[in-house]
Amino acid sequence: MPTSAYNNLVERCSEIALFNSTSSLLGWDQETCLPRKGVSYRAEQCAFMKGRAHHLFCAPEVDRWISECEQVDSGEDPVRSANVRDWRWSYDRATKLPEGLVEKSERVRAHAMSAWAMARKENNFPEFQPHLETIIDISRQKADCYGYNDTPYDALIEDYERGTTTAAVTELFEGLKPQLREIGSAAARRSEEVPGDVLGGHYSEAGQRDFNEKVARAFGFDFEAGRIDTAVHPFCSGLAPGDTRLTTRYDEKDFCSSFYGVLHETGHGLYEQGLPPEHHGTPAGNSVSLGVHESQSRLWENHVGRQPAFWQHWFPVAREVFEPLSSRQADDVVAFTTKSRPSLIRVEADEATYDLHIVLRFEIEREMLAGNLAVADLPEAWNAKFKEFFGITVPSDTEGCLQDIHWSMGALGYFPTYTIGNLAAAQLFAKVNEEIPGMKDDLASGNYARLLEWLRRNIHEKGGQLLPTDLIRVATGEDLSPRHHLEHLHNRYLSPA
């Protein structure tokens, strides 16, 4: 492989990484502490950063360097081969987008996220509607530039889960829906005996911050290379090596809301902190897909954080922090955190019903992109589908179609990765338990080192060397399948107590 061409690509991508990481920092700042009057200029900053990064990567010399590397790639160096493979895929895709469209998209996103936050706060969908209409229009333009065979959704989902298609997701979800509804109904009946106020009381925000940080640190999150802040919608930003930001939001009547949000984002953060820093800026140093990313967050949140063994260790600590728990037992927390009850809010949904939230969003955004659902009709369509799926009347758009940040970010095609992540999380955790005897004892003692080391070795340190489907196959010895996830749900909600 021509050393100069490869080194030129690494150098160019390192430069681009500076623009992208700075752009991500600007995005984090906007979602946590930017004054509202600063949004317009922030939009210009973000547009400049993304436009410049796009311009640098789409330059003709990049095509020439990639071609030189392709001509002599022997496959003997997996890192170099993976980088060349993904540079070609990314270059061919990026050069289909005009630089002006990239910049326009960033401007629209910045304004839309600000408008969404205000619309959500005020339960005012009409304030957000024109922004979402523009985002849908831009998303269709991007899909047309990329090209697609069946639906514009195919062109967009590739940004988040390379190799999958709308048809594949539709087939997966259609197969899962009846089983999820059956599990959800049975789980809800079984959970009726658990009082909704079993953990009722006041949980100070300061106490929640303290407890959240203790657990995140125990999982292995490095607070010298990261932090937790407050945002309207929880998220994780892996800004750069040594800088991974988590956010959550607080409800002083329910410490579990922020706590499980932090466990989820900590899973993302551990992945970001485990990526090989020596390959930062190149595909080999990046996370491989959003589905794999979500597998890490869902694994730590659910397969670790909702286990009775987990609370066997952490309940005494929580009782010291939270006065309402002084009269409770660890079993009360386990019962509450595994209680199944249809929820209006996706990020607070139990495992038995969570995937139906994803199916709902996928079906809606697919129809919006295809032009079969007008944005003006979104609240009505959302409420009707929610009633169909969950039997719940949505009381407000804040708790309905305005609850998630993703559409304001222009992230159409993202939502299916949550269920893909659930499938992968269950499959990975099953493999972990097969290869690491005594995992339950580790959880009961608060020892997560062996689990994290396994994930580091099999997922995190691989970066983008393998495509998503290949990574899961190599890590678990089988193709991604719903089997382990459905078995997990059956065991958690339907097996004899």
How is the chain split into domains, by residue range? 3-126, 166-493
- Specify the DSSP class assigned to residue 77: S
Long-range contacts of 434-441 (CB under 8 A, 24+ apart): 440/307, 440/309, 441/309
From the list 68, 158, 265, 363, the catalytic residue is: 265
Q: Give the per-residue pLDDT at 15.
A: 97
Q: What is the mean pLDDT of residues 156-177?
A: 95
- Specify the DSSP class assigned to residue 452: H
What average pLDDT is seen over the chain?
A: 96
In the annotation, is 388 catalytic?
no
Query: In whole angstroms, what is the distance from residue 24 CA to residue 463 CA?
Result: 19
Task: Tell me the C-alpha to C-alpha distance, in Å, between residue 41 and each of 19, 37, 45, 413.
Answer: 17, 9, 6, 28
**Which class is 166-493 in CATH?**
mainly alpha
Helical (H) or strand (E) element with 230: strand 226-230
Strand order, beta sheet including 236-240: 226-230, 243-248, 236-240
Q: Give the per-residue pLDDT at 192.
A: 87
**pLDDT bucket at 379, cuts 50 / 70 / 90:** very high
**Helix (H), strand (E) counts: the chain:** 20, 3
Share of the chain above pLDDT 70, in %: 99
**pLDDT bucket at 470, cuts 50 / 70 / 90:** very high
Encode pLDDT of 403-441 as tens digits.
Answer: 999 999 999 999 999 999 999 999 999 999 999 999 999
Alpha carbon 78 to chain centroid, angstroms: 27
- State which amino acid sits at residue 364: I
Q: Give the per-residue pLDDT at 163.
A: 92
pLDDT over threshold 90, residue 395:
yes
Token pair 């869902």 in the structure block, residue: 298
pTM of the model: 0.95
Q: Give the per-residue pLDDT at 331.
A: 94
Handedness of CA 131, 133, 134, 138 (dihedral sign): positive
Q: Give the per-residue pLDDT at 75.
A: 85
**β-bridge mates for residue 236, sequence order:** 246
Asked whether 79 and 465 are in contact (CB, 8 A), the reply is: yes
Q: Give the per-residue pLDDT at 1.
A: 56
**pLDDT bucket at 190, cuts 50 / 70 / 90:** confident
pLDDT over threshold 70, residue 2:
no
SS (H, E, C) 234-259: CCEEEEECCEEEEEECCCCCCHHHHH
Encode pLDDT of 200-254 as tens digits.
Answer: 999 999 999 999 999 999 999 999 999 999 998 899 999 999 999 999 999 999 9
Phi, psi (rounded to 5 degrees) for 463: 55, -130
Q: Which residues contact 293 (CB under 8 A, 6 or more apart)?
A: 268, 271, 287, 417, 421
- State which amino acid sits at residue 320: E
Asked whether 240 and 280 are in contact (CB, 8 A), the reply is: yes
Task: Tell me the C-alpha to C-alpha distance, in Å, between residue 261 and each of 204, 347, 379.
Answer: 16, 7, 26
Asked whether 169 and 291 are in contact (CB, 8 A), the reply is: no
Q: Which residues contact 269 (CB under 8 A, 6 or more apart)?
A: 216, 221, 226, 236, 238, 244, 246
Encode pLDDT of 268-318 as tens digits.
Answer: 999 999 999 999 999 999 999 999 999 999 999 999 999 999 999 999 999
Q: Give the per-residue pLDDT at 497.
A: 57
Token pair 């939001």 in the structure block, residue: 249
Encode pLDDT of 121-135 as tens digits.
Answer: 999 999 999 999 999
